[in-house]
Amino acid sequence: MLKEFKAFALRGNVIDLAVAVIMGAAFGPIVTSLVNDVVMPPIGLVLGQVDFKDLFISLSRQSYASLTAAKEASAPVIAYGSFFNTVINFLIISFVVFLIVKQMNRLQEPAPTAPPTTKDCPYCYSTIPLKATRCGHCTSELRAA
């Protein structure tokens, strides 16, 4: 059983998956910082100097100065600004992963294609072996290629 586990753990795709998880974990905070510190401030400025992190709805119908103040008062809130930031994070990460996969697929060599072993009969359009001299379906005599 230990040999089987070692063979499984040392296969190339398991190692690749482990590296991808580690890189993804390291990439997450970078994208979060990009969204919170670079992308959202200009959007907030255009929309009237709004800080998306502080956008919330108080379910207790009390007014709070900020999301932090509402959370300190243990008020039930819907923090839709944080949700909006998380959605932007997801979209950026998804787009970057798409670009990486697209480039990796472009760099890989196409799989070799096997030479054809069949052809279509010019009379009945049935599939027949490439070396056939007579169609097995319509019995027509075939010209040599």
DSSP SS3 for 99: helix
- For 64-73, the pLDDT digits (tens) are 888 888 888 8
CA angle 20, 25, 30 (to 5 degrees): 115
pTM metric for this prediction: 0.55
- For 101-145, the pLDDT digits (tens) are 888 888 877 778 888 999 999 999 999 998 888 998 898 888 865
What is the separation of C-alpha 77 from the centre of its chain, rounded to a whole number of angstroms?
Answer: 31
Question: Using an 8 Å Cβ cutoff, are 140 and 134 in contact?
Answer: yes
- For 28-71, the pLDDT digits (tens) are 888 888 887 888 788 878 877 777 777 888 888 888 888 888 88
The average pLDDT across 73-79 equals 88
Q: All domains of the chain, ordered by start, with CATH? A: 2-113 (1.10.1200), 114-145 (no CATH)
